[in-house]
Amino acid sequence: MSTGIFGIGITGMQAAQLGLLTAEHNVANASTPGYNRQRILQATNIPLMTGAGAVGQGTHVATIERMYDQFLTGQVNASQTNVSELDTYSTQIKQIDNMLADPSSGLSPALQDFFKGVQQVAANPSNIPSRQAMVSTAIAMVTRFHGIEDRLSQMADGVNGQITTTVGAINSYAEQIANLNERIAVAQSASNQPANDLLDQRDQLVAELNKLIKVSTATQSDGSFNLFIGTGQQLVVGVQANTMTATAANADPSRIVVGLQTAGGAQELPEYLITGGQLGGMVRFRSESLDPALNEIGRVAASMALTFNSQHALGQDLLGQSAGAAGFVADFFNMQNMQPIAIKNANNTGIGTLQAAFVSPPLGGTYSLSNVAGTYTLTRLSDGQTWSQAPLATPAATLAALQVAVPGSEGVDVTKAAVPVGLTAEITSSMVPANFYTNLAVSDYKVQFGAGTTYTVTRLSDNQLVANGTGPGPSSVTFDGIKLDVSASGNNGDSFLVQPGHNAARNIALNASVAADPRLIAAAAPVTTLPNKANVGTMSFSQGSVGAGYALPSPALTITASATQLSGFPAGVDVTAIYADGTTTASNLAVNLVNGASQLIGFSFNGMSFDVTGSPKVNDSFTIQRNAGGVDDGRNIFLLGKLQTQKTMGGATASYQGAYAQFVSSIGNKARETQVTSEAQQALLDQAQGTREAMSGVNLDEEAANLLRYQQAYQAAAKMLSIGNQLFDSVLSIAS
């Protein structure tokens, strides 16, 4: 080390020169993304110890420090990955929100127009133009279903493409970071000084990577980074970058999922591990909003077709045809291609096969009460759920005990029912409207085979077990309005994905026969009543209505009144009588006009129901017969029109438009929630970036001052050399 005035001056010039270079480097990179301001850290050289004391030997630059705070950088990266995720989610969900709520492209206007067409036919059932208008509105509604589903499917394809592209970008960043890890380790081990610019480049790549997916970092002893995603899955370890994959899901080949490449092949990652960044936002949007949207629009389409077809099948067309006639068209909508999809998992090893189909809609609010040897059994006809009570001391006590066993939400009062031994009566719940409805849920299902040919069905929206069964031969289970037929059991661990809604909106169609001939719309009811012209009493029968499985009288049936009864019902047929106080009785051949003090107000048998008013005279009679004409009859089209406002979905809890409106509202709320959250996260990001920039950013005014300071320091050190040179010349002149 040089000593004396020349040595000290030289060290000062060297330190000032490095200061100038560092300040110039800061100025030059003021606009470089990810650049952290640098500064020199000076230290005094070891002094020379003399008898007069320690004589200073100048200065040296210990290191060039990068103004970097790992905590602040972590805050920025965490905020950035959240902002990127929410921005991506918000951008995507706005497309669904705008489409569903748009009057010109949403479903509600099409539903309203269709039922306006139904009402026109109800107003004039024999008018062919009205029937043609109903067909036209039905086609328009079907087209609207197709359009919404097609747009949602396009969005699903777009998500698949964006996931693939994003995964490619993540792999590129991971490779670059691994390469920088190697360069940083070599540079720092060679000089034992930080490789500032390389570190900045790596930090910037990590920041860009966080825009795509949330990563966490761990620094190794050689200065290299390890990067992790999810719950610790390795993306970069030192100089080794693992490869993420975007491949078709084993459970659903139409769905691109994210995985990690391993020695054994691509390993799918559960979606909950993909968080943060654009990739996390895309995956969240698909699972939380896009999949439910596809399922919901399919649920509405399936419920519409199922319930409308069920009611339509109970009618009679303009040609006088009803159920059982060769030319009768029972289904208004063609559901051939609307059935649920069952997808075999690509990893299955067994020969398990299954099919899924929609269950015919039950008629809400209807129950049967049977009396077998004194044991009463109440059966909910919608799904076969039963409640039973063994005989007690009296029939009244047995019924009272049964009433306690039935959940109050059923709204069924069985204590008033009197059913003779061996017969069955129908009871209508006072709380549930008697209309067709579906139990379809907004969810896909996983069928998982276990040991011993057993299998379970799990609803994926809430991970609830909804059914289970066993083989090895054919078996079936019913759940949420779906019937699953397992024709062959799979091996332990095999699985299938059942998607009820994905085909429904895509393939709903108007029955081609009805579209070609509107006369086939079943607007009339197939049964009618006719009073005898000689009747003198005030009793009258309604024209009647029919339910599923009805059987028309053939030949016509004559019901005759006596002083106490109506008789003439078919032998061997249970007849349910309904009285004004809500009580019901079951009998055959005849029903009483009065039960206690309560008057008869209706009766039903063979799936046909009739209201009764007034009082008869002895020998008054009524004819129940097939509706021979029915040209101006609109009883069934009236019931079809009522489906618009009746609760036909979700287990008789919501109408078509109610369920759709609720879904549109939830999408709108989610879109707003995402936007507000994104704005809040953006504010946090701005604050974090501002704090980091205050420490690490380049201030040009400050650097200009530093340039002047180091320039003056350099000039001062150079002056020291000049003074030393003059002193040396003076010494030489004395010596000479």
Q: What is the average pLDDT across 495-522?
A: 95
- Neighbouring CB atoms inside 10 A of 564's CB total 12
- Residues 6 or more apart whose Cβ sits within 8 Å of residue 503: 298, 337, 338, 339, 340, 341
Pairing of strands 464-470, 454-459: antiparallel
Is 80 exceeded by the pLDDT of residue 302?
yes
Query: Average pLDDT of 306-322?
Result: 94
* pLDDT value at residue 463: 94
Query: Quick check: helix, strand or coil at residue 3?
Result: coil
Give 604's strand partners: 576, 609
Per-residue confidence at 573, pLDDT binned at 50, 70, 90?
A: confident
- Give the per-residue pLDDT at 437: 87
Question: Does the pLDDT value for residue 425 go beyond 80?
Answer: no
Residue 430 amino acid letter: S
- Residue 407 scores a pLDDT above 50: yes
Higher pLDDT, 386 or 513: 513
Average pLDDT of the chain is: 90
At residue 1, the pLDDT reads 43
Structure confidence at residue 3 (pLDDT): 60
Share of the chain above pLDDT 90, in %: 68
pLDDT the model gives residue 430: 56
What local confidence, expressed as pLDDT, does residue 493 receive?
A: 94
What count of other Cβ atoms lies within 10 Å of the Cβ of residue 47? 12
CA 179 to CA 84: how far, in whole Å? 26
Q: Helix and strand tally (H, E) in the chain?
A: 13, 37
pLDDT at residue 227, rounded to an integer: 94
Note the pLDDT of residue 382.
59
Separation of alpha carbons 603 and 365, rounded Å: 17
- Provide the percentage of residues in the chain whose pLDDT is more than 70: 97
- pLDDT above 80 (res 257): yes
Q: Lowest mean pLDDT: which of 31-45, 115-129, 356-370? A: 356-370
Whether the pLDDT of residue 435 is over 80: the answer is: no
Cα dist from 538 to 531, 550, 612, whole Å: 11, 28, 10
Closest CA to 261 of 277, 278, 275, 240: 240
State residue 408's pLDDT score: 66
CA atoms within 13 A on the CB side of 297: 32
Confidence of residue 101 (pLDDT cuts 50, 70, 90): confident
Q: 100 vs 331, which has greater pLDDT?
A: 331
pLDDT in tens, 19-75: 999 999 999 999 999 999 999 999 999 888 888 888 888 899 999 999 999 899 999
Of the pLDDT bands very low, low, confident and very high (cuts 50, 70, 90), residue 410 is low
What is the arithmetic mean of pLDDT over 490-507? 94
